[in-house]
Structure 1
């Protein structure tokens, strides 16, 4: 279209340049008539000869003008056809509004989108095609976006004459006309199918979330029931050895139960707070004896849920091991639970101020069932384990990666 306009300007310039056009016509006249002066065989005055010459040159000028106009008209027809393909047959609707929000022009795609004839949109307020509940959205959008500048987007609902509701995305740019007035150029994209699909996915996600919560709730209740049965068996145990074994089993079940209880209280289903989970496991274990207290030195650390149960069992085994061996003969003491961030993940430390390790103690030869289970669990998460005497007790250190790729 711009090329045609430039050609029209050049044509106007040529047609408006009388001296240039005269020279071209003179040239063509000489080509037709030859270089000799006109002579019809009779003696004629010079004035008659000049007049006839002028008439023939003017005739050629008119022919040249007519040819140029025909060529320009043909180019305009081609440009008009291309403009129709680009504007009217575009895959999105185009609407132009004046400063009051009245439609001044609309392409065929916009009319088809709204189920209207093309002329039915023109000279009507754009808001009359918007769902009544969303007219405030349009009002606030126009109020906020009122100066020429970069394009702006807005989503709202429009309604067809038959009541069908469309979800539409508006992309608007504002231009200032030569008279100082404002024009809104709006591109309309039908996003109804996309929005319906998003709502379907959101509904399915909510259903899955509710199903997961119900599953977690039922699992926690089942584990609590098992734990209660173990507690009853522990209270009825005939020997201290049986009672200790049942208490250890109950602590393991509680560790997994606490995980499901914690998951019910958080919004994420992929991560949880490691420090909070470990404290919830350690407190009831220390509570088994009134002579032992718990100290906590924990940093806030987030970790993947899929490895939380493994960490919980490790904490359980190490806490039960300290309770069982660090404070014989009803000795009072403190077990410290420490959790710190490291460069690659986290460090879990459980230390006590008990009697310490026996002389000559070494892993893995002197490990019992509980410590062997700890070493196996640590291997599953790609961690390392160290157990050492401190001179005033025992320290167990577990270092493991937090990132998913480092987890088994």
Structure 2
């Protein structure tokens, strides 16, 4: 009998050889299992990567759409021939467009946080104050005509309409210069 042959009559040696064979088989099965798991994991990662690439592409398209809308509405707001203002409940200017700044004869960003009432002539302050109160109490669009000016200097006669936003409770004000149309 060669040394490679097992004596099946010796139960201890037989058991030892069987356990060695089982370990070999388990190692092979384990290696195959790991390989299969790695293949599954690689597949899942590849699918996830493709999903992320698709989401990224969708986000890029949404970003481009948002950028186009921003440019469009910025142009519409900033370059409108009508003055636009957003005033808080105290009459402080929160935002305005370039035309609104031109009507007040000031630079746009220097007007933010200024009180709009400072740019209403003394003769028109009562009209504006009544209009501003109505805007906040009626919850409807209100309008009036006032003279813009400061330091006893009249700038222009304007027609304005205002409405209060529900979310921030700011007054959105549109202002049109009607100096060329009115006789005062």
Q: How many residues align?
A: 153
Q: What residue number does 2:117 align with?
A: 127
**In the alignment, is the contact (CA less than 8 A) between 1:148 and 1:174 conserved in 2?**
no
Query: How far has the Cα of 1:120 moved from its partner?
Result: 1.8
Structure 1 position 166 matched with structure 2 position 156:
yes
Unaligned runs of 5+ in 2: 1-31
Q: What residue number does 2:23 align with?
A: none
Please state whether the residue corresponding to 2:170 is helix, strand or coil: strand
Unaligned runs of 5+ in 1: 1-42, 200-408
Structure 1 residues 216-231: aligned runs within 5 Å: none
When normalised by structure 2's length, the TM-score is: 0.74
Q: What residue number does 1:384 align with?
A: none
Please state whether the residue corresponding to 1:72 is helix, strand or coil: helix
Q: What residue number does 2:51 align with?
A: 61
Partner Cα distance (1:78, 1:160) in 2: 39
When normalised by structure 1's length, the TM-score is: 0.35
**In the alignment, is the contact (CA less than 8 A) between 2:103 and 2:155 conserved in 1?**
no
Query: How far has the Cα of 1:162 moved from its partner?
Result: 10
Partner Cα distance (1:161, 1:107) in 2: 23
- State the Cα deviation string for residues 109-149 of structure 1 (Å, max 9, x = none): 11122222111221111101111332222222223342253
Query: How far has the Cα of 1:163 moved from its partner?
Result: 3.5
Structure 1 position 88 matched with structure 2 position 75:
no
- State the Cα deviation string for residues 287-323 of structure 1 (Å, max 9, x = none): xxxxxxxxxxxxxxxxxxxxxxxxxxxxxxxxxxxxx
Higher relative contact order (CA 8 A, sep 6+): 2
Partner Cα distance (1:175, 1:67) in 2: 35
Partner Cα distance (2:101, 2:89) in 1: 21
**In the alignment, is the contact (CA less than 8 A) between 2:104 and 2:155 conserved in 1?**
no
Structure 1 residues 274-313: aligned runs within 5 Å: none
Match of 1:183 among 154, 170, 176: 170
Structure 1 position 194 matched with structure 2 position 181:
yes
Partner Cα distance (1:64, 1:144) in 2: 52
Partner Cα distance (1:193, 1:102) in 2: 28
Partner Cα distance (2:152, 2:44) in 1: 70
Which structure has the larger Rg over C-alpha atoms?
Answer: 1
Q: What residue number does 1:245 align with?
A: none
